[in-house]
Amino acid sequence: MSQVKTVSELQADIKKFSPHPDKVKLLAVSKRQPNEKIVDLVKQQQLAFGENYVQEALEKIEQLPKNLEWHLIGHLQSKKVNSIIGKFAYIHSVDSLKLAELIGQKSKIAGITQKIFIEINLADEESKTGFHQQNLMNQWSQLVSIDALQIVGLMALPPASDIESATRQHFKNLYQLQQELRKKTDTSRHPLDSLSMGTSQDYPIALQEGATVIRVGTILFGERV
């Protein structure tokens, strides 16, 4: 089990491991955590929270302070897109062209621009969602032309591994893919300057390899009861 750390201890780790700590956001993954624990972190000046399940997230957004920044990091079903428009600052799990088009369509109707991360299936795992890299390259021009969307970066969850070098290589690959896409993107419209990668198990490696958002749950909240 990971040692539980305070927000300030994790911020110190960001300064220790990241080459650009001022650009890094600490995202507290609060799925299945009670509101009381979230409020405890808010008292530590933690304001950005990531949720996996739409219904649970919407209830928390309604119940908790309005100055919190909410990120949807779990799989998003097309049938639930209507309910999340305007509720999340960022959607990290845009895993298909069809989903991106639907979010763009609904955002345009609502008169907003939705910030999104494109989810990448780094190892082409059948059990995971996300764009395979070749498919992403083939569909990139369509993705960047969707109205009412702003692509801020890429998101990935590498295969579980106890081998640090394997995990590090996956993070390097995501960074390299980001740089390759930036060359063919109007970054004034789609900044593509963010990498959502790294969890409680591997965030130091992710930070070293360029992460700008680390998604940590257990190390902040402790094990779920």
pLDDT in tens, 81-100: 999 999 999 999 999 999 99
Identity (one letter) of the amino acid at 34?
A: P
CATH architecture assignment, domain 7-221: Alpha-Beta Barrel (3.20)
pLDDT band at 131 (very low <50, low <70, confident <90, very high): very high
Contact of 171 with 164, CB cutoff 8 Å: no
CA dist., res. 158 & res. 201, Å (int): 11
Q: Which DSSP state fits 61?
A: H
Backbone angles phi, psi at 170, to 5 degrees: -65, -40
pLDDT band at 126 (very low <50, low <70, confident <90, very high): confident
What local confidence, expressed as pLDDT, does residue 195 receive?
Answer: 99
Beta bridge partners of 19: none
CA dist., res. 56 & res. 31, Å (int): 8
CA dist., res. 120 & res. 143, Å (int): 14
Spatial CB neighbours of 194, under 8 Å, sequence gap ≥ 6: 117, 152, 153, 154, 212, 213
Identity (one letter) of the amino acid at 160?
A: A
What are the contacts of 6-10 at 24+ separation with CB within 8 A? 6/44, 7/41, 7/44, 7/45, 7/46, 7/220, 8/44, 10/216, 10/219, 10/220
Beta bridge partners of 94: 118
In Å, how far from its chain's centre is CA 7?
18
> Would you tell me the crossing angle of helices 54-63 and 35-42 to the nearest 10 degrees?
60
Count of CB atoms situated within 10 Å of the CB of 118: 29
CA dist., res. 109 & res. 215, Å (int): 30
What local confidence, expressed as pLDDT, does residue 3 receive?
Answer: 86
Above pLDDT 70, what percent of the chain? Answer: 99
- 3 state DSSP class of 135: helix
What local confidence, expressed as pLDDT, does residue 1 receive?
Answer: 43
Pairing verdict, β 114-120 and 149-156: parallel
Above pLDDT 90, what percent of the chain? Answer: 92
pLDDT in tens, 169-225: 999 999 999 999 999 999 999 999 999 999 999 999 999 999 999 999 999 998 876
Count of CB atoms situated within 10 Å of the CB of 55: 10
pTM, entire model: 0.96
